[in-house]
Amino acid sequence: MPFPRKFPRAALRARSRSTVQNIHFRSIKFAPFAVIALFVFTNVTGFFFSPVMAPVVSAAQVETIPLDVPASGDCDLDWVIFRAGEKQGVDPRFIHAVIKQESKYDPKAVSGAGAQGLMQMMPATAKRFGLKDPFNAAENVEAGTKYLKWLLKRFDGDVSLALAGYNAGEGAVDKYKGVPPFGETQDYVKKIVTNYGKTYHPILTPADAKLAFHLVTMDSATISSGL
Protein backbone atom coordinates (compact mmCIF):
# COMPACT_ATOMS: atom_id res chain seq x y z
CA MET A 1 0.00 0.00 0.00
CA PRO A 2 1.57 3.30 -1.04
CA PHE A 3 1.94 6.01 1.60
CA PRO A 4 0.86 9.52 0.80
CA ARG A 5 3.69 12.01 0.35
CA LYS A 6 2.01 14.49 2.68
CA PHE A 7 -0.15 14.05 5.73
CA PRO A 8 -3.35 15.98 5.87
CA ARG A 9 -2.96 19.24 7.80
CA ALA A 10 -5.75 18.34 10.22
CA ALA A 11 -3.96 15.13 11.14
CA LEU A 12 -0.71 17.00 11.73
CA ARG A 13 -2.39 19.55 14.04
CA ALA A 14 -4.03 16.77 16.04
CA ARG A 15 -0.75 14.95 16.40
CA SER A 16 1.00 18.18 17.50
CA ARG A 17 -1.60 18.84 20.20
CA SER A 18 -1.27 15.29 21.40
CA THR A 19 2.52 15.64 21.67
CA VAL A 20 2.31 18.91 23.64
CA GLN A 21 -0.25 17.46 26.03
CA ASN A 22 1.95 14.44 26.52
CA ILE A 23 4.95 16.67 27.35
CA HIS A 24 2.87 18.70 29.81
CA PHE A 25 1.62 15.53 31.44
CA ARG A 26 5.15 14.22 31.83
CA SER A 27 6.34 17.56 33.28
CA ILE A 28 3.57 17.53 35.88
CA LYS A 29 4.28 13.92 36.62
CA PHE A 30 7.92 14.58 37.45
CA ALA A 31 7.38 17.92 39.27
CA PRO A 32 7.22 16.36 42.77
CA PHE A 33 10.50 14.55 42.15
CA ALA A 34 12.12 17.81 41.04
CA VAL A 35 10.96 19.60 44.20
CA ILE A 36 12.25 16.78 46.42
CA ALA A 37 15.59 16.75 44.58
CA LEU A 38 15.99 20.52 44.99
CA PHE A 39 15.17 20.26 48.70
CA VAL A 40 17.77 17.52 49.24
CA PHE A 41 20.37 19.43 47.20
CA THR A 42 19.96 22.69 49.10
CA ASN A 43 20.01 21.02 52.51
CA VAL A 44 23.00 18.80 51.78
CA THR A 45 25.10 21.45 50.09
CA GLY A 46 23.75 24.44 51.99
CA PHE A 47 23.85 26.38 48.73
CA PHE A 48 20.98 28.77 49.41
CA PHE A 49 21.66 28.87 53.15
CA SER A 50 25.38 29.50 53.04
CA PRO A 51 26.76 32.70 54.65
CA VAL A 52 27.42 34.02 51.15
CA MET A 53 23.90 33.60 49.83
CA ALA A 54 21.83 34.09 53.00
CA PRO A 55 20.72 37.55 54.19
CA VAL A 56 22.99 39.11 56.79
CA VAL A 57 21.31 40.02 60.07
CA SER A 58 23.46 41.63 62.70
CA ALA A 59 22.97 43.70 65.82
CA ALA A 60 24.81 47.01 65.62
CA GLN A 61 25.74 48.42 68.97
CA VAL A 62 25.27 52.17 69.15
CA GLU A 63 26.97 53.60 72.22
CA THR A 64 25.68 56.81 73.72
CA ILE A 65 26.62 59.00 76.66
CA PRO A 66 23.99 58.77 79.42
CA LEU A 67 21.69 61.78 79.49
CA ASP A 68 22.51 62.63 83.11
CA VAL A 69 26.21 63.13 82.32
CA PRO A 70 26.84 66.88 81.95
CA ALA A 71 27.62 68.35 78.53
CA SER A 72 30.48 70.74 77.85
CA GLY A 73 29.01 72.16 74.67
CA ASP A 74 31.67 70.33 72.65
CA CYS A 75 30.60 66.83 71.58
CA ASP A 76 34.18 65.69 70.94
CA LEU A 77 35.28 66.87 74.38
CA ASP A 78 32.34 65.12 75.99
CA TRP A 79 33.52 61.85 74.44
CA VAL A 80 37.11 62.52 75.59
CA ILE A 81 35.88 62.93 79.16
CA PHE A 82 33.60 59.92 78.92
CA ARG A 83 36.37 57.69 77.54
CA ALA A 84 38.85 58.85 80.18
CA GLY A 85 36.35 58.02 82.91
CA GLU A 86 35.65 54.60 81.41
CA LYS A 87 39.35 53.81 81.11
CA GLN A 88 40.26 54.82 84.66
CA GLY A 89 37.08 53.71 86.41
CA VAL A 90 36.20 57.28 87.39
CA ASP A 91 32.68 58.65 87.11
CA PRO A 92 32.60 61.05 84.10
CA ARG A 93 30.15 63.22 86.06
CA PHE A 94 32.86 63.80 88.64
CA ILE A 95 35.41 64.66 85.95
CA HIS A 96 32.96 67.15 84.41
CA ALA A 97 32.43 68.80 87.81
CA VAL A 98 36.17 69.22 88.28
CA ILE A 99 36.79 70.59 84.77
CA LYS A 100 33.90 73.02 85.04
CA GLN A 101 35.34 74.44 88.25
CA GLU A 102 38.96 74.38 87.13
CA SER A 103 38.79 75.87 83.63
CA LYS A 104 35.15 76.24 82.58
CA TYR A 105 36.01 73.85 79.73
CA ASP A 106 38.70 76.11 78.30
CA PRO A 107 41.54 73.90 76.98
CA LYS A 108 43.92 76.90 76.82
CA ALA A 109 43.29 78.14 80.35
CA VAL A 110 46.34 79.14 82.42
CA SER A 111 46.13 80.16 86.07
CA GLY A 112 48.27 82.72 87.85
CA ALA A 113 49.98 79.84 89.69
CA GLY A 114 50.92 78.17 86.40
CA ALA A 115 48.24 75.47 86.19
CA GLN A 116 47.42 74.62 82.58
CA GLY A 117 44.70 73.25 80.39
CA LEU A 118 41.25 71.81 81.00
CA MET A 119 42.09 70.19 84.33
CA GLN A 120 44.61 72.88 85.35
CA MET A 121 47.55 70.56 85.80
CA MET A 122 50.60 72.01 87.53
CA PRO A 123 53.87 71.20 85.69
CA ALA A 124 55.17 68.92 88.46
CA THR A 125 51.89 66.98 88.65
CA ALA A 126 51.68 66.82 84.86
CA LYS A 127 55.11 65.20 84.79
CA ARG A 128 54.07 62.65 87.45
CA PHE A 129 51.18 61.47 85.33
CA GLY A 130 52.85 61.54 81.94
CA LEU A 131 51.31 64.70 80.52
CA LYS A 132 53.52 66.17 77.80
CA ASP A 133 51.20 68.68 76.14
CA PRO A 134 48.92 70.31 78.74
CA PHE A 135 46.98 72.11 75.99
CA ASN A 136 46.04 68.90 74.23
CA ALA A 137 42.51 68.25 75.48
CA ALA A 138 42.67 64.45 75.37
CA GLU A 139 46.08 64.24 77.04
CA ASN A 140 45.15 66.77 79.71
CA VAL A 141 41.90 65.01 80.62
CA GLU A 142 43.59 61.62 80.69
CA ALA A 143 46.36 62.80 83.02
CA GLY A 144 43.94 64.74 85.24
CA THR A 145 41.64 61.72 85.49
CA LYS A 146 44.60 59.52 86.47
CA TYR A 147 45.41 62.01 89.22
CA LEU A 148 41.80 62.03 90.45
CA LYS A 149 41.78 58.23 90.53
CA TRP A 150 45.04 58.22 92.48
CA LEU A 151 43.67 60.71 95.01
CA LEU A 152 40.39 58.85 95.41
CA LYS A 153 42.27 55.64 96.11
CA ARG A 154 44.63 57.40 98.55
CA PHE A 155 41.72 58.88 100.50
CA ASP A 156 39.47 55.80 100.35
CA GLY A 157 36.90 57.29 98.01
CA ASP A 158 36.32 60.43 100.11
CA VAL A 159 35.39 62.99 97.45
CA SER A 160 36.05 66.03 99.66
CA LEU A 161 39.55 64.90 100.60
CA ALA A 162 40.38 63.94 97.02
CA LEU A 163 39.29 67.39 95.83
CA ALA A 164 41.22 69.11 98.60
CA GLY A 165 44.30 67.16 97.51
CA TYR A 166 43.71 68.13 93.90
CA ASN A 167 43.52 71.81 94.82
CA ALA A 168 46.02 72.18 97.64
CA GLY A 169 48.10 69.02 97.32
CA GLU A 170 47.79 65.74 99.17
CA GLY A 171 50.50 66.86 101.57
CA ALA A 172 48.29 69.66 102.86
CA VAL A 173 45.42 67.22 103.44
CA ASP A 174 47.76 64.95 105.43
CA LYS A 175 49.09 67.89 107.43
CA TYR A 176 45.66 69.14 108.49
CA LYS A 177 44.10 65.67 108.61
CA GLY A 178 41.25 66.84 106.45
CA VAL A 179 40.32 69.69 104.14
CA PRO A 180 42.95 72.43 104.76
CA PRO A 181 41.66 75.66 106.38
CA PHE A 182 42.24 77.65 103.20
CA GLY A 183 39.31 79.72 102.00
CA GLU A 184 40.02 78.94 98.34
CA THR A 185 40.30 75.19 98.94
CA GLN A 186 37.21 74.99 101.11
CA ASP A 187 35.16 76.96 98.59
CA TYR A 188 36.54 74.79 95.78
CA VAL A 189 35.59 71.56 97.53
CA LYS A 190 32.13 72.82 98.44
CA LYS A 191 31.25 73.92 94.91
CA ILE A 192 32.37 70.70 93.24
CA VAL A 193 30.72 68.42 95.82
CA THR A 194 27.49 70.37 95.36
CA ASN A 195 27.76 70.15 91.60
CA TYR A 196 28.65 66.45 91.60
CA GLY A 197 26.10 65.62 94.26
CA LYS A 198 28.10 62.89 96.00
CA THR A 199 30.58 62.73 98.86
CA TYR A 200 31.79 59.19 98.18
CA HIS A 201 33.25 57.68 95.03
CA PRO A 202 33.81 53.90 95.12
CA ILE A 203 37.18 52.54 94.03
CA LEU A 204 36.35 50.15 91.21
CA THR A 205 37.87 48.43 88.22
CA PRO A 206 36.92 49.99 84.89
CA ALA A 207 34.55 47.09 84.14
CA ASP A 208 32.77 47.38 87.48
CA ALA A 209 32.68 51.18 87.24
CA LYS A 210 30.72 50.99 83.98
CA LEU A 211 27.93 49.19 85.80
CA ALA A 212 28.12 51.14 89.04
CA PHE A 213 28.01 54.52 87.30
CA HIS A 214 25.45 53.36 84.71
CA LEU A 215 27.73 54.06 81.77
CA VAL A 216 26.52 51.13 79.67
CA THR A 217 23.64 52.37 77.55
CA MET A 218 23.58 50.29 74.37
CA ASP A 219 20.77 50.67 71.85
CA SER A 220 20.56 47.64 69.55
CA ALA A 221 19.63 48.32 65.95
CA THR A 222 19.00 45.33 63.69
CA ILE A 223 20.42 45.79 60.25
CA SER A 224 19.44 43.38 57.47
CA SER A 225 21.05 43.17 54.06
CA GLY A 226 21.31 40.62 51.29
CA LEU A 227 23.48 39.98 48.26
Return d(Cα 133, Cα 86) in angstroms, integer: 22
Q: Which of 63, 86, 102, 184 is catalytic?
A: 102
**In the chain, alpha helices (H):** 9-45, 75-88, 92-103, 123-128, 137-154, 159-168, 170-176, 183-196, 206-212
Nearest CA among 79, 145, 89 for reference residue 118: 145
Residues 73 and 161: their CA atoms lie apart, in Å, by 29
Among this protein's residues, is 170 annotated catalytic?
A: no
Give the C-alpha separation, 162 to 175, whole Å.
14
**86, 204 in Cβ contact below 8 A?**
no
**CB distance 107 to 137 below 8 Å:** yes
With beta carbons less than 8 A apart as the criterion, state whether 144 and 121 touch.
yes
Cα(21)–Cα(223) distance, integer angstroms: 49
Contact between 97 and 196 under an 8 Å Cβ cutoff? The reply is yes
The residues assigned a catalytic role are 102
